[in-house]
Amino acid sequence: MLMRTSIKSIISGITLFSILQAGPSVYLYIIKFDNVTQEPSIDWLGQGFVDMLNAKFKDVSKLRIQGQDDLEAIMNNRSLLVHQPRGSRNFLLLGKFERKLDNISVNLQLVDIATWEETDRRKISGNYNEVSELNMKLTLTVETMLTPFIPVDKKKKSIYPEFSIDKSPPIKSSIFSDSKDVSRDIDMAIDELEKSMDLFIGARGLPSKDESFKEGEEWVLDLGSSAQPSYNPENDANTLMLMNVLDDLMASPYNVDIQKPIFEYDEENAKIMNVSINIEYSLKDHVIADMLRSLPYTGLKQDGSLMIFDFNKEKFNFSDVLHEKIRFGKYRAVPVISFLNELNITTVLIVDTPEAAIHQLESNNVHYVADHKFSPLIDFTIGGWALQVAMESVKIPVKYTFSVPISTADSVRRVSLKFVPEVELASFLQTKL
């Protein structure tokens, strides 16, 4: 063991010296991605994408990951670049993202800090409910953007063309796997050297003449039909509590404060009246309290008014129905405000949705809110192992305005607001047109 420690110390010293003499590196500055639509429910992705990239590239040889503070230091004192190894490159990764239904689009831009010129631009997209797949796309894309700039040891190539009709194309060495390969080779070399020296001094006895490699030998651990149990009876009690809370969250999570509408005559048209109504949206007071008190969550993250709860299969059973409801966004709802006359007949309808397909439904008494003033304050993400619930405890004040004939405005007797599931919105409006 002492000999092994000494050998490792020598090799570690050699490795450290090699790293110090390795030459130029690439410094990548990654800052929080920009939430283009400013949608509060997905704002956590801005820092989430940064964390994904940091986790992927933090151990990559010749790549140095830098943050917001490092970027500000370089901007305030450009002479710091002189202290980097000669030939090093500095790049800034800019990211912007937006959400349309369940689709997340991410635009990436790689900028050379020395010249402030764009060196590469890419765009990826993925499903909001498949964060792991989106993570894979993001890291692979950034890896592709960086590879041309990261120094690698290039072997000399023959001046003659190489025929490759009957053989597969060689797998190119990637700079992102070099460090792992070197570490594995060093460990194998140490083991072989230690074994040889022990045999030489007799510490392991004489090698057995009968000892031989058994070709095709295999060890098998049978895990059954699934490596991960889909159902655990011990989790039934936790699952029942979780489903009761989730059903309440999905069915009726919001509290709504409706103020009396204001009617004003149009200055340019005496037959028209302008109407405005203020509505405030917020999560019900007990929602977050129920999550904190009643459920054994496996993770909790709080960032200002945003709280993210994690639940995994170690304590809960997630049914196929729950998977389908979350993955296809069946829990999402759109606020529909109805202005009713004395016969309880809808005279004006306000639909707060940016979906163009809904706006194509024509009617004189329906007013669409294209800029989507209401923003969901709760969102769910589910994968193969865990469920995540994100909630934001803020109030959203919204002012809706529209114009109608005076006769229509005079007939209004009450105002009603109803959250209609997105999947049912088109059919619901058909009955109101």
In this structure, the answer to whether residues 118 and 255 fall within a common structural domain is no
In this structure, the answer to whether residues 114 and 257 fall within a common structural domain is no
Q: Which of these three, 83, 116, 149, is where a domain ends?
A: 149
What is residue 222's predicted lDDT score, i.e. its pLDDT?
Answer: 58
What is residue 270's predicted lDDT score, i.e. its pLDDT?
Answer: 84
- The count of domains in the chain is 2
Closest CA to 22 of 92, 87, 91: 87
The verdict on residue 32 lying in a domain is yes
Identify the helix (H) or strand (E) that includes residue 43: none
In this structure, the answer to whether residues 421 and 308 fall within a common structural domain is yes
In this structure, the answer to whether residues 137 and 244 fall within a common structural domain is no
Could you list the residue range(s) of the whole structural domain that residue 92 is in? Answer: 18-149
The verdict on residue 167 lying in a domain is no
What are the residues facing 307 on neighbouring strands?
A: 302, 391
| Residues counted in the chain | 433
CA distance 261 to 255: 19
What is residue 102's predicted lDDT score, i.e. its pLDDT?
Answer: 75
In this structure, the answer to whether residues 292 and 390 fall within a common structural domain is yes
Q: Domain holding 110: CATH number?
A: 3.40.50.10070
What is residue 107's predicted lDDT score, i.e. its pLDDT?
Answer: 92
What is residue 318's predicted lDDT score, i.e. its pLDDT?
Answer: 82
In this structure, the answer to whether residues 142 and 288 fall within a common structural domain is no
What is residue 376's predicted lDDT score, i.e. its pLDDT?
Answer: 82
What is residue 163's predicted lDDT score, i.e. its pLDDT?
Answer: 42
In this structure, the answer to whether residues 266 and 403 fall within a common structural domain is yes
The verdict on residue 210 lying in a domain is no
The verdict on residue 47 lying in a domain is yes
In this structure, the answer to whether residues 136 and 238 fall within a common structural domain is no
What is residue 140's predicted lDDT score, i.e. its pLDDT?
Answer: 92
CA distance 23 to 18: 9
In this structure, the answer to whether residues 313 and 423 fall within a common structural domain is yes
Angle in degrees, CA 372, 258, 360, rounded to 5 = 30
The verdict on residue 141 lying in a domain is yes
CA distance 211 to 227: 35
Low-confidence ranges of the chain (pLDDT < 50): 2, 7, 10-21, 155-167, 209-213, 225-227
What is residue 193's predicted lDDT score, i.e. its pLDDT?
Answer: 62
Q: Which of these three, 103, 125, 149, is where a domain ends?
A: 149
What is residue 25's predicted lDDT score, i.e. its pLDDT?
Answer: 82
In this structure, the answer to whether residues 293 and 418 fall within a common structural domain is yes
What is residue 38's predicted lDDT score, i.e. its pLDDT?
Answer: 81
The verdict on residue 140 lying in a domain is yes
The verdict on residue 205 lying in a domain is no
CA distance 309 to 391: 8
Closest CA to 415 of 343, 333, 334, 349: 349
Helix (H, G, I), strand (E, B) or coil at 355: coil
Q: Which of these three, 100, 131, 149, is where a domain ends?
A: 149
In this structure, the answer to whether residues 411 and 279 fall within a common structural domain is yes
The verdict on residue 54 lying in a domain is yes
In this structure, the answer to whether residues 318 and 418 fall within a common structural domain is yes
Closest CA to 403 of 341, 359, 350: 350
Return the residue matching tokens 């919204």.
Answer: 398
pTM: 0.45
Structure tokens given for 352: 């707060």
